[in-house]
Structure 1
Amino acid sequence: MSESLKTISPVDGSLYVERPYTPENDIERMLAAARTAHAEWKARPIAERAEILTKCIDSFVAKKDLIVEELAWQMGRPVKFGAGEVGGFAERARHMISIAEDSLADVTVPRKDGFTRYIKREPVGVVFTIAPWNFPYMTAVNSIVPALMAGNAVILKHAAQTHLCGERMVEAFTEAGLPKNLFQIVVANHQSAARIIQSDAINYVCFTGSVPAGKAIETAAVGRFIGVGLELGGKDPAYVRTDADVDYAAENLVDGAMFNSGQSCCGIERIYVHEDIYDRFVERFVEVVNDYKLGSPVDPETTLGPLVNAAAAEFVRAQIDEAVNAGAKALIDPTKFPENKKGSQYLAPQVLIDVDHSMRVMTEESFGPVVGIMKVATDEEAIKLMNDSEFGLTASVWTRDEAAAVRIGDQVDTGTWFMNRCDALDPALAWTGVKNSGRGCTLSAVGYESLTRPKSYHLKTSL
């Protein structure tokens, strides 16, 4: 096993970052220091925490130009879109800071003569965040800033592909005056991460990643009696009703399917379109996809960068080939995208029709720039197909009828239900999933519940 973490850039296959793994003795010292830092931090008023963390966010945003360039080299995000990651990080962080005072306030109960009674929200202690590479800042912030605002300390293990993102966050927060040891990054392999979860120093684990990795996290936490938040896979559907604005739906669903080269847990991977507008929708969808430019993410003209590595691209190619061999029709000519090369991480986008749920591309998470489009005759048929999945992170309907949107949404198994938008996140709403998309919640006032524990005060004041 390698003694160091290595980040191979998807831009050109070069070694971009290398860090030695943190020795076990140093990890023990980090955890002990985190517990000490937490004990001091939780005693500070929420308003004081908010002031310090606001400065931390400002410090992070000030590094935007450097962050955008590093994102391109680490995980292939085109520089054209990199600033959006910084903006999303800041939006989520500032919202969670702004609602902390109310969200963390004591829970009052009805007055009872002779007693003072209330429920206090205590920080859980030390939170272990394990962050993914595909949205390395916007996913990490979902737990890091709320955990700190709640009075916890945070240990961050970032993905090997984007470890530098974790370093950049810790650096920015430290420079802004966050107390020492309150937010630390560890360089750990899977075995070390499991040992950290098993340590008595850890009180909560927040993980974003694959279903198999989520199962490994749960296994490591068995017997610890601690909370584990899991945001896992997705195979997110969209339903375009007969009354939809076809151009608007097509253009936005292309973005939902192709942004970040399709490497989004809440990206659109399957679309169901009412038969009355199916042909018009598919025609416009293909037109928009053909306008994408596949290329190096450091080229400012690129709108579709490489996948994270060649293996990921080959996985998607296999799904496409299997579907075509089973009767699906591919509507995008890969030769229009010269950078596309079999065996490389550069993969042309693809749109498939004549697909069904016997094909992996319609049931198995693709995590790439491919989408299947199916024709449906009724709302009921669309609902049945949307629910025919092991996942349930987000789903969307495209319609002018809000009442119909709510009626359909009530029947779809999903964590977030959208109308006329997709692949988005509102920090005022709970970010959560069902089925194999995981469990738990981040963001919104509800997101603070897992980062705190209730402590009841039952005081008899009359004797």
Structure 2
Amino acid sequence: MSDTIVTTNPATGKVIKEYKQHTDDQVTDTIRNCHEAFLEWRFKSFDERGAVLKKIGEKLRERKSELAQLMTQEMGKLIKQSHQEVKLCAGICDYTASSAPEYLQDEQRELPNGGRGLITYSPIGVVYGIQPWNYPAYQVIRYAIANLMAGNGVLLKHAENVTGCGEKIKEIFEEAGLPKHLFSTLLISHDQSDAVIKNDLVRGVTLTGSPKAGEHVGKLAAEQLKKTVLELGSNDAYIVLADADLDIAVDACVKGRIYNNGETCIAAKRFIVVEEVYDDFKEAFVKAMKNIKHGDPTSDGVDIGPMAREDLRDGLHEQVINSVANGAVILCGGTKPTGDGYFYPATVLENVTPGQPAYDDELFGPVASLIKAKDADDAMLIANDSRFGLGGGIFSKNEDAAFELASKHFDTGMVFINSFGLAQPNMPFGGVKRSGYGREHGGFGVREFVNAKAIMRLQN
């Protein structure tokens, strides 16, 4: 087993930097130091914590270009989307600092027998986050800021290919005035990560990753009787109804499939179109996807950059080939480019049916599955015919009916109406079924790793 972590530029295949992996003793010391920092931080007022979070937001804006360039270099997203990500992260800092106290304030309750009751939301200690590479800043900010506001200490194991981003975020946090050790990065192996979960000073674990990773982390944490939040994969369905504005639907569906190079957990992946408008949607959608240009993510006029790693591109292509072998038809794309970088073209598959990876699994890249439905009821049955349940979408000119359909019938954690999925700080983020459990954002994230403590004086 190598004790070195190597980052590589996916647009060129060239090595960026090497990092020395932490020893077991360093990991133990880091956890202990984080816990010690938490013992002081937990007594800071909401105003004091919020002031630091707002300062982090300021520093993120000041160093936006620097962090954005590093994200694009390490994982290949378009540079303009890296800038958008840092802007979102700064906004999350501001929103959490101002809104979280509302959800964390003590609550007075009168007891049925006339006694006095008090509910406090007390921080629990060190929260360990295992985060993926597709949003190198946002994934960290999403859980770290909420838990810091709640009064916890935070540990990060970032994906190896974005190690530099994790280190840069730590630097920005401390430059903004966050107490040293309160947020710490761990450059560790999977075995070392398991040991972190087992450490008695670690009180909660949050993971964003694949269902397989979720199974492993969830089981291990459960054996230690530790709370977890799991945000896992999905194959989100976007339903296009007969009364949809097809120009809006096509535009949003293309953006929803290719944004972030198609490497987004809540990306549009299955496009379920009622037969009344199927042919018209198909013609426009395929034309738009054919026009998607891949290339250097730092260049103008490029729509998608490379996939983050070579093995990810190879795995995606294998899913396409397996789908075709089982009856799917390639309408555009589907050919792995030669040359430097881990590029893959925007691809559309038709005749997608159960038993194909394009129907059953998550295609984490710019590949769209086009499915015809008889009507709205059939479309919803197909959409819910999935072991996942993170997000989804509905396109209809009848917005009220779309909201009703989403509310009562869509079996997912999030539904987007006439738009594609992007996280909003004031709305809960998370899924159901094999897309995981627990919520982040929207006031929910700050309460995931706190002790809802009941204090009572009973009436004699």
Flag the 1:258–1:114 CA change in 2: closer, same or farther, 3 A.
Answer: closer
CA separation in 2, counterparts of 1:366 and 1:80? 24
| 2:378 maps to amino acid | E
Match of residue 244 from structure 1: 244
- 5+ residue gaps in structure 1? none
Q: How does 1:27-46 map to 2 (within 5 A)?
A: 27-46=27-46
Give the match's secondary structure for 1:373.
Answer: strand
Please state how far the C-alpha of 1:112 moved relative to its aligned partner: 7.1
Match of residue 85 from structure 1: 85
Q: How does 1:397-412 map to 2 (within 5 A)?
A: 397-409=394-406, 410-412=408-410
Match of residue 168 from structure 1: 168
CA separation in 2, counterparts of 1:269 and 1:214? 21
Match of residue 262 from structure 2: 262
Match of residue 104 from structure 2: 104
Please state how far the C-alpha of 1:334 moved relative to its aligned partner: 6.5
Q: Is the 8 A contact 1:310 1:343 kept in 2?
A: no
Q: Is the 8 A contact 1:313 1:344 kept in 2?
A: no
Match of residue 354 from structure 1: 351
Please state how far the C-alpha of 1:287 moved relative to its aligned partner: 2.4
Mean Cα displacement is larger for which, 284-293 or 75-84? 284-293
Q: How does 1:178-257 map to 2 (within 5 A)?
A: 178-257=178-257
Mean Cα displacement is larger for which, 70-79 or 451-460? 451-460
Q: Is the 8 A contact 2:262 2:364 kept in 1?
A: yes
Please state how far the C-alpha of 1:342 moved relative to its aligned partner: 8.5
Query: 438, 455, 458: which is aligned to 2:456?
Result: 458
CA separation in 2, counterparts of 1:333 and 1:181? 47
Task: Give per-residue Cα distances to partners, 1:85-131, cap 9 Å, x unaligned.
Answer: 11121222322222111110112212678743211110011111111
Match of residue 69 from structure 1: 69
| 2:67 maps to amino acid | I
- 5+ residue gaps in structure 2? none
Please state how far the C-alpha of 1:326 moved relative to its aligned partner: 3.5
Q: Is the 8 A contact 1:157 1:187 kept in 2?
A: yes
Q: How does 1:123-162 map to 2 (within 5 A)?
A: 123-162=123-162
CA separation in 2, counterparts of 1:113 and 1:206? 39
| 2:230 maps to amino acid | L
Please state how far the C-alpha of 1:221 moved relative to its aligned partner: 1.5
Q: Is the 8 A contact 1:254 1:289 kept in 2?
A: yes
Match of residue 319 from structure 1: 319
Give the match's secondary structure for 2:302.
Answer: coil
Query: 432, 435, 441: which is aligned to 2:433?
Result: 435
RMSD between aligned alpha carbons? 1.9
Q: Does 1:447 align with 2:445?
A: yes
Flag the 1:114–1:57 CA change in 2: closer, same or farther, 3 A.
Answer: same
CA separation in 1, counterparts of 2:24 and 2:161? 22
Mean Cα displacement is larger for which, 246-255 or 283-292? 283-292
Q: Is the 8 A contact 1:57 1:173 kept in 2?
A: no
Q: Does 1:379 align with 2:376?
A: yes
| 2:403 maps to amino acid | V
Match of residue 284 from structure 2: 284
Q: Is the 8 A contact 2:5 2:19 kept in 1?
A: yes
Q: Is the 8 A contact 2:22 2:187 kept in 1?
A: yes
| 2:362 maps to amino acid | E
Report the identity percentage.
30
Give the match's secondary structure for 2:455.
Answer: strand
Flag the 1:235–1:152 CA change in 2: closer, same or farther, 3 A.
Answer: same
Q: TM-score, normalised by structure 1?
A: 0.95
| 1:309 maps to amino acid | R
Task: Give per-residue Cα distances to partners, 1:15-68, cap 9 Å, x unaligned.
Answer: 112111111112111111111111111111101110111101211221111112
Q: TM-score, normalised by structure 2?
A: 0.95
CA separation in 2, counterparts of 1:262 and 1:341? 20
Flag the 1:54–1:300 CA change in 2: closer, same or farther, 3 A.
Answer: same
CA separation in 1, counterparts of 2:446 and 2:36? 22
Please state how far the C-alpha of 1:272 moved relative to its aligned partner: 0.6
| 2:449 maps to amino acid | L
Flag the 1:387–1:271 CA change in 2: closer, same or farther, 3 A.
Answer: same
| 1:404 maps to amino acid | A
Match of residue 414 from structure 2: 416
Please state how far the C-alpha of 1:9 moved relative to its aligned partner: 1.8
Q: Is the 8 A contact 2:296 2:305 kept in 1?
A: yes
Mean Cα displacement is larger for which, 369-378 or 105-114? 105-114
| 2:342 maps to amino acid | Q
CA separation in 2, counterparts of 1:301 and 1:21? 38
Q: Is the 8 A contact 1:327 1:355 kept in 2?
A: yes
Give the match's secondary structure for 2:30.
Answer: helix
Please state how far the C-alpha of 1:343 moved relative to its aligned partner: 9.8
CA separation in 2, counterparts of 1:113 and 1:269? 54
Please state how far the C-alpha of 1:387 moved relative to its aligned partner: 1.0
Match of residue 329 from structure 2: 329
Match of residue 338 from structure 2: 341
Q: Is the 8 A contact 2:333 2:346 kept in 1?
A: no
Q: Is the 8 A contact 1:124 1:203 kept in 2?
A: yes
Q: Is the 8 A contact 2:359 2:369 kept in 1?
A: yes
Q: Is the 8 A contact 2:320 2:334 kept in 1?
A: no
Flag the 1:44–1:352 CA change in 2: closer, same or farther, 3 A.
Answer: same
Q: Does 1:388 align with 2:385?
A: yes
| 2:246 maps to amino acid | V
| 1:351 maps to amino acid | V
Q: Is the 8 A contact 2:56 2:173 kept in 1?
A: yes
Q: Is the 8 A contact 1:196 1:202 kept in 2?
A: yes
Task: Give per-residue Cα distances to partners, 1:137-168, cap 9 Å, x unaligned.
Answer: 11221110010001111111111011111111
| 2:443 maps to amino acid | A
Q: Is the 8 A contact 1:269 1:362 kept in 2?
A: no
Give the match's secondary structure for 1:442.
Answer: coil
CA separation in 1, counterparts of 2:334 and 2:379? 30
| 2:282 maps to amino acid | V
